[in-house]
Structure 1
Amino acid sequence: MANRTHTQLTEFILVGLFPNRQPLFFVLFLTIYIFTLMGNMIIILTITLEAQLHSPMYLFLRSLSLTEIFYISVTVPRMLKDFLHLDKAVSFLDCATQLYFFCFLGTTECFLLAFMAYDRFVAICHPLHYMTVMTKSKCLEFSLGSWLSGILLSLFQISYVFSLPFCSSNIIDHVFCDILPVVRLACANTFANEIAILMYGSLVILLPFLLITVSYIHIIATIIKIPSAVGRKKTFSTCGSHLTSVTLFYGTATIVYLKTKSAREYVGTKVIALFYIVFIPMLNPLIYSLRNTIIKNAITKMLKIQ
């Protein structure tokens, strides 16, 4: 009987964000969504059509842009619908599906950023071996490995979360089905789940970040040895966009997901999560295009803007 009671919950209710400003947020997030899709599609098309951009650094960037398109599409269309309706109910299955793809794509992005750092490490620290180490096939293997890691790790995590009994409150104090707010609704001891979430976060956030950090320690050590100030600046400029993207992505992800119980009392978590899921996918095309002359010229050529 207890198990049957636990299965009676069939939907969750999303609280959303600032109920008295829904029309304003609809216009804002729709604009951001369209801008994000256009920006990342331009990056993808430019790299695909421009032969000079078929190097590992740009192929990784194309994979990142593709991930960003799917990533923002997991949450924002549902948010736009909720901004226009009072009924913010989401079915149990839809919530689980949204959370799975959110974790899957977030994990994929973490590993892609790590492999992009490794690419810069090989290019700067071992330039003579770059063409043999970072081949197109190796780049494809790293990209596919990032996606496969996201698929498998997230499947295990979400299966564990939704095996919990949900039999009391169904109010999710968030704008989408995020993992910690969902776990807190379970009518069972969630200590093991919160530890599992912390371990998952450490694996998909801290481990790639550690690889990025080690790569940049070697990169900086190599750049310092360059005798020319112009040479040092030119070499480091190839890492500027990636460093900016890493700082934004990992900074917000760490605040949101490497917390468990303490996050219950942190009101700003919802706002930070919005920055993480909405604004960063929008900013990445700008970060990589505005700071990269080759991409800017290729985009100009593709769009035939003189």
Structure 2
Amino acid sequence: MPKRMPRSMVPLAPLSQSQLLLRSCLALVAAVLLAFAVNLMVLSHLQHLVAQQQLTDAFRAQLSAGTAPVSEGAFDDTLLPDGAPVALIQIPAIGVNEVVVEGTTSGELTSGPGHRRDTVLPGQEGVSVIMGRAAAYGGPFSRIQELAPGETFTVLTGQGEQKFEVIGVRYAGDLAPPSPIAGESRLILETARGAAFIPTGVARVDAHLVSETEPAGARQSSFRTLPSQSLELATDTSTVWALVFALQFFVIAEIAAVWSYRRIGAQKMWVVFVPVMVLGGLLIADQVTRLLPNML
């Protein structure tokens, strides 16, 4: 009676066209998910460091020249663009030393903490709001919930250094401090609450100015005109078109890689297309990140 061949020695049937297509699609999805994870947990922090260095140089130059913004308008009477540096916040107790940019959409908060456009600048009469990420892109506000009442920190603006004292930390349902009266200045720091990359709500730190109050600059934006993507834990879909183009680029690169594999062999294909595929994956990951909550 003839012996049966071990299963490991039985030749496998070639994959069908549909199976090959399915395998390629699964490989594509796996590559995108890997690029997304690497971008969110590793490369986003490097991107944040580079952006902060550039913003620091730009803001220092503006302070030296006396052109740092003190309102929603730039020095040349134009509307201050999103992403422009407006302040430097330093909280020694939790190691925060960050340039604050104008705007609070997901895109702006990749560079650092963002100032909400419909509020005054820190130190000016009224209420100012600064949002920051809790985990991705440096997670500059990851520890603000550790701030205790009475803790002090400073914010440097075009009007000088402003000193604040923490009132307390609050969450959804907690009573907010009384609104500031005429001549007072309040600053609210906001970030995502919950485990890293899994926001469950908003954490707020209230602080009041203990140095001299500065006059408020002109503001064109108001709460009614503020885009929804600038609010807490909002997502930004304004750049979905860029995600579509990034996906198209990645798919075309995948098709070209398969064609090259059959024409020029695996070794040359890997040399040429690995950098291209990595670039495409990172472009997709960056755009997908912008669709996530802005304080993630």
- TM-score band, normalised by the shorter chain? under 0.3
TM, length-normalised to structure 2:
0.27
More strand by share: 2
| TM-score using structure 1 length | 0.27
Max Rg structure: 2
Kindly indicate whether structure 1 or structure 2 has the higher relative contact order, using CA contacts under 8 Å at least 6 residues apart: 1
More helix by share: 1
